[in-house]
Every structure is written in structure tokens, then in C-alpha cells.
Structure 1
């Protein structure tokens, strides 16, 4: 993949870091509450897929809930035109583990971004890729201005990405992901774990398949046998937080398990039972915005509606969830953390930066997810009848998909599409 768009903000900052620009900083304190709130990363999709209906309900009541923050190098002005964005657009969602105003006792001064999800939507709005970045992935950190405006934290290496919120809030998290991926991020949001509870209740629960009993005393999850459970409220949060109960007990296995939930959530949201129920639509959007902080670029109703229209018609098989390639078990600064698999990450982001669709290989599922043996059977269409090459073309026939034959397979990257029915694998 050599025909790539030039890197802009991310490239400039990477060059500055290589040149040795640094400021003073401090290490964030570790926290015992390590919630994994992957569902929060779908909050914009929740609002977006129901965007057409939002115009018919109390939109003002929803937008009044929104709190905004300005990203680094983000300038005031009219809402951006997503149709004019070369190479598509990118949305970053951080799930915060903050306890502030969440009804939990304990320290409320700092927060960790324990969910990091980057959503890329292609320029022609025909496909989307959601990349889950492990919270313990060790990255080179950029210098980040402090949230209170009093100075900056210095650039640093050897820190996990979930340090970003404590180093400079949502703007710092966006800056870190831009440098990691080489992508410019136009829109961003941060949401609390309370949003998982409220949103899962608003959608009416999410059906999740498990291949065996899952009991995790660390999160309180108790699913007594194999089968499909409709998860909502605190139970949905416990499922998404569960690491010891699923896969191989690692954070990477947990991400695969979370993608089981996310894929089912997308299918639920796109179903007529959800979008056809204005009460549910309003409840989902209201729950999301009550628990969100958005970038200024995303705080406009016009922008939300434009993103809604871009997302709502993407087919399930073209919504792909992947993990940022990483591995555990290494020493040094990666002790107890996740180290990047650079070659695989470069291949993944070559596709994304060049806005090219790709397919995952047959071994894409990681420990944490398995194929659902009871998945709906998709009927294979009968072969097309041979055509007479001398016959005139049918002007009413659908146009051929120019990308269908050119989609390449990306090997080694783990994940699934929203059309894939999978089960969370018990540990």
C-alpha cells in the first residue's frame, strides 16, 4: 500500500518529538478500578443510526445535555463538512473509569481511558472499521497541555495508552492516538461507565451468546450455563469488564469477548424494533449525551446528523471490528503490558490511511470469541444464468460494485464483522 495520503498534524508532531521537544511531566497513579467499557465506543453509532428519527423528537432536550471540549489544534468555526473530508473521517471514543458523579466512593481526581476505540468511515461511506486499542498498549507519548492550562506534561515513552486522560484529558488521548496511527482525528468523545448501564437499558438489552458458564467474582458476572442472554444494566457492564471470566484471562482476550457484544449491539440498533421505536431512540440518544463529553467539532447537531446519515446504511458485513495488533509476555518496559506488533499494525493502518476496504482471514477470531454454532443460516443465491454477450445491456440492472473484486485479505489481524454471529468464550 504505497499510495497513501500524506500525514499532517500527526506527522508534524512525530517530527517534533524526534527532534527532542520535551516538557516536564508526571506519571499517573494506578487505580484499582479497571473497567472495560467497550460499549461506550458505540455511543456515537447509537446516536448516528437513529439520527433520522431524532429530527422528529425532542432534539433540543438531547443537545442541551452535551458538554464539549476543544481538541489541540482545533479551531473555532462552522461545523466540518464530512462529505468533503479526503480519505474519509475518523472518530475516537475514550471510555473513562472516573468515579466522579457516578455514585461510587473513592478518589475522583483522576481518570484512566480504559477503552480506546478509533472508528474510520470511508469517504464513500460504504464501510467502517473500528479499531480497539488495548488499554495497556505501551506507546511513545506526546507532550500534552494540562487540562487546567498551567503548562504541559513532557513527551514520554514506556507508558500505557490509558494514561492519556490523566495527562491531559480527551485532547491528550486524541493526540496520542493520532501519533500512534498517523491519522488525523476530526471528532472525539469521552463517556463514563454509567453510560453503559443507561444505554443498555435504553436499547432494551443486548443478546449475547456464551459457549459455557461464565462466573467472574471480580466483576460480579454470573452466567450459569451456555446460551444466549439479554444483557442490560449492571449485568451488561459486568460482562464488558470481565477479563478473568473470558478467553485466556488477558486484556486482548477480553477485547474479543467485547466484540461479541458490540457486533450484537450494532445488529440490535439497526433492527426495526429499535429504530422503529421513537421512545427507544430518544432514550438511547439521551443516555449517551448525558454521559458524554464531545469535541467541539462534534457538538453540533448538524454534524451529528451528517454522521448519522453516513453510518446508518453501511451493511453489517462492512462494519469491521479489529484489535490493534499487540502481544503480551515480553519483558522490559512491556512487563505486564501489551507490546505492539509493528508489522501487522503498519499493514492495518496502511489500509485505513489509504481508505481501502479489506477482509479478515479465516483465523481472525482471538481467544475470547468463537463462532456461534446456532448462527442464522444465510441462503446462498443461485448462480446467475449465462448471458448472451450480443444482447443489449439492461439499463435497470444494478451497477457492479467496483470494489467487490479488489478487496484484499489482511492476515494476522484479529476481529470480526458486525454480521458475524459469535459467542464469548468462557475461561
Structure 2
């Protein structure tokens, strides 16, 4: 169900972006099958944290219990209370394009032939929570990124050999989620102990569970490949409409996968604001629904299968201000060998990787994504920490330290301008290229 409201949009001036990683146009039917491979991993960040918060809030609301004793009358000691996880967290989130077990619109023979089994990781994000639990970063890795892939153990035994260059989104089908983890570890230098995958059904269920997500559209979004035709303004999306919105490529930006990543960041930042300020975290029914949907539609690695771990990660996230939650795209440029693919910008990636490995706070200095612009009608969003005020075009100035900041507070690492993204506090609108 889609709820729309008229809204005036004052166009922000920005330079037209280069079209890195733009895919070839094709017959609409073939395009639909390919676009079905864009699963929504963006809600996974919320799913992991909110699912844990749901368990935590339910258990914390239980009334005092009867004291138990053993046969000698000695009190039986309860297990220790669960607190936030010690130290930082690196959690890989992958959206699989598999049609296996999806049913519904993905159950026909053409869909099953297009992708079955593990599928490809057409959406991949890495959640990094700092050691002191004061900031979080979500890094999106383009599906068309051409990189070396290390040797990966097969889920059922044996090994898939390393390759000097291949598309990043083949890692899941090559060796399961473990192969995707090993590849991202090689790219970033981080150790990643937690990982999960989510399917199409999980995306639909998550958006329904939160009661829909309201997004801003600077331009009409018309994308027949995913079945969306939305006017400019605001739209509250849930169910299949939410899935179609974040899968859309032809309706946003320059038609590239990089534009789609930017559009997903618009959705995810709006979702983050709803979770923190829209009453979701205070609604036990919604929290339980989110946790149940996550459990039914996510495949978790061993490190996440323990409910206590989910709760601990949630507790590490719950007090991070929106201004300290950053969504960014791994830095890329056009592949000289193929204009429809992208390669890492080594110098920019090195700065980002070093900041993540050293657990330094980061600050964006470049543009917001190519399929987004700042909402000129936005109202201020409360943040737990000072948030830089963005200027037109998405530039984020160096923040002035708060007078109450402690001397121990670290100055953020200012990322190169080739790294695009936004914070959860920045209210943005999806757009087409100028």
C-alpha cells in the first residue's frame, strides 16, 4: 500500500555525476529478471539491532520472579544480566537474489532458472560499530565491483580456487556467505565474526513489520521494470512496494547500480529515523513482529544464532545518535576494461580501510549519493551528538567540537571526497540525474 502526499521541491544545484557502473539497457522482460536479483539488505541493519532490542525489552519488562532454592535451602543464582557486547562489531549483511523457496511472484520457471540455490549477493553491506559504541558505519559494496576473490571453502566440502578478478556479487554463489566474508576481509583488512543473509520475503516482511517507511521523492519515480510509478512528493512504502523501491535502478539516479545504492541509503536513513523517533522501539507488538520476521527470513552464521549475541549487538547500537550513523559507498571508479563495471579507487579505499581497522570515527567530505539530494523542507532531527550541517550539493563541513566534549574525544578521519554517502540525520530525497 502506498500513501502519497504533494510536496514542493526546490531543486538543489549539483554537478552532474559521472555514470560509473551503468548497466546496458535490455528488453523489459529480461530486465525484470535481472532486477529481481536486487534484494534489500538495507533493512538488515535494523533487523539485527531491532530484533535484539525486541528480546531485550520483553525480558526487561518481566515482573520479579519467585526466588528458587536448592534442596539445602541455598538460593539458586540466576545467570548474569546481558549487557552491550564488549568492544566493536563487524557484521556483514548480504541480500541474496535466489528464488529458491521464495514462492509467490518468484516461483515461476523463468525465475527459478534465473537464480536458484545460494544465489548472488546483489546487495552487500558491512556494519561497523566502534569499540566505544559511539558511532556506526554501514559500507555498501557495489555488485559490479571487479576485484580479486580469495580461495573459498565450499559449504559442502572442497575449495573454490582464488581468481585474480571477478564480479563481487558472485562471491555468495561461489562459496556461500563465508566466501563473501573472506572477500570483504581481504578488501578492508577487518576481521568479520558475524554475517547474515536475507531473502526477498524478508524484505517485504520487514517493511510491513515497521508499518511502512516514508521516503521523499524529488522527481517522479517511474520504473516499469519493478512496477513503480510514483509522483514527486512523499510516499509511505511497505510490502512489495518497498522492495520495488530499493530494487529500482532505471527510476533513480543515472540508471546505474551506484545510483541504486544511493537510493537505498535514502530508504535506510528514513528507516533509521522511524525506528528511533517514530515509536517503533516503544511498540512491543511491532518489535516482536520485526524479530519474528528476521528469524524466519534470515540465515545467520553461528556467531549470530545465539539470541544473547543479538541482544548484545542491539544494546551496542541503541544509544548511537543519528548523526553518528553513516551510510557510505565503497569508493569506485569506472573499470577501464568495461564501462559497465567498476573498480576500487585504491587511494580512497586505503584511507577508509585504515580508519575502520584503527576504529577511528569518520566524517564524509564529499557529495551525497548520485540518486539523492538534501530535502529542502526537512525539519531538524534530534541527534545524540553534534551533527555537521550539510550545505547544498551534499558537502559536509568540518564540525565545531561541542564545548561539553571530553578531551579524550578523537577527531574524526575526514574521508576523501570520492567517498559518497550520508548520515542517518541527513534527510534526503530520491532523484533522477540532472
Give the TM-score of the pair, scaled to structure 1: 0.78
Query: 1:146 aligned to 2:171?
Result: no
* Counterparts of residues 195-344 of structure 1 (less than 5 Å): 195-223=202-230, 225-271=231-277, 273-328=279-334, 330-332=335-337, 334-344=338-348
Q: Structure 1 CA distance, aligned partners of 2:198 and 2:61?
A: 23
Aligned to 1:390: none
- Using the TM superposition, give the Cα deviation of residue 210 of structure 1 relative to its aligned residue in structure 2, in angstroms: 0.6
**Retained in 2: the 8 A contact 1:40–1:193?**
no
Aligned to 1:6: none
Q: Structure 2 CA distance, aligned partners of 1:379 and 1:335?
A: 42
Q: Secondary structure at the match of 1:306?
A: helix
**Retained in 2: the 8 A contact 1:48–1:311?**
no
- Using the TM superposition, give the Cα deviation of residue 409 of structure 1 relative to its aligned residue in structure 2, in angstroms: 2.2
Q: Structure 1 CA distance, aligned partners of 2:306 and 2:197?
A: 16
- Using the TM superposition, give the Cα deviation of residue 335 of structure 1 relative to its aligned residue in structure 2, in angstroms: 4.6
Q: Structure 1 CA distance, aligned partners of 2:201 and 2:382?
A: 40
- Using the TM superposition, give the Cα deviation of residue 366 of structure 1 relative to its aligned residue in structure 2, in angstroms: 2.4
Aligned to 1:45: 49
**Retained in 2: the 8 A contact 1:39–1:262?**
yes
Q: Secondary structure at the match of 1:249?
A: coil
Flag the 1:49–1:271 CA change in 2: closer, same or farther, 3 A: farther
Flag the 1:401–1:300 CA change in 2: closer, same or farther, 3 A: same
* Counterparts of residues 66-77 of structure 1 (less than 5 Å): none
Query: 1:96 aligned to 2:96?
Result: yes
* Deviation readout 1:91-127 (Å, 9 max, x if unpaired): 0011101101111222323400011100110000000
- Using the TM superposition, give the Cα deviation of residue 282 of structure 1 relative to its aligned residue in structure 2, in angstroms: 0.5
Q: Structure 1 CA distance, aligned partners of 2:154 and 2:267?
A: 35
Q: Secondary structure at the match of 1:374?
A: coil
Aligned to 1:410: 415
Q: 2:173 aligns with which of 166, 176, 197?
A: 166
Aligned to 1:126: 134
Q: Structure 2 CA distance, aligned partners of 1:307 and 1:337?
A: 35
Query: 1:116 aligned to 2:124?
Result: yes
Flag the 1:402–1:219 CA change in 2: closer, same or farther, 3 A: farther
Query: 1:352 aligned to 2:356?
Result: yes
Aligned to 1:385: none
Flag the 1:415–1:51 CA change in 2: closer, same or farther, 3 A: farther
Flag the 1:405–1:188 CA change in 2: closer, same or farther, 3 A: closer
Q: 1:136 aligns with which of 127, 140, 144?
A: 144
Q: Secondary structure at the match of 2:126?
A: strand
* Alignment RMSD (CA, Å): 2.3
Q: Secondary structure at the match of 1:348?
A: helix
Aligned to 1:426: 432
- Using the TM superposition, give the Cα deviation of residue 364 of structure 1 relative to its aligned residue in structure 2, in angstroms: 2.4
* Deviation readout 1:147-180 (Å, 9 max, x if unpaired): 211x211000221111011111111111111111
**Retained in 1: the 8 A contact 2:133–2:320?**
yes
Aligned to 1:366: 369
Of residues 407-416 and 39-48 in structure 1, the stretch that sits farther from structure 2 once superposed is: 39-48
**Retained in 2: the 8 A contact 1:40–1:195?**
no
Aligned to 1:400: 405
Flag the 1:81–1:145 CA change in 2: closer, same or farther, 3 A: farther
Q: Structure 1 CA distance, aligned partners of 2:242 and 2:61?
A: 27
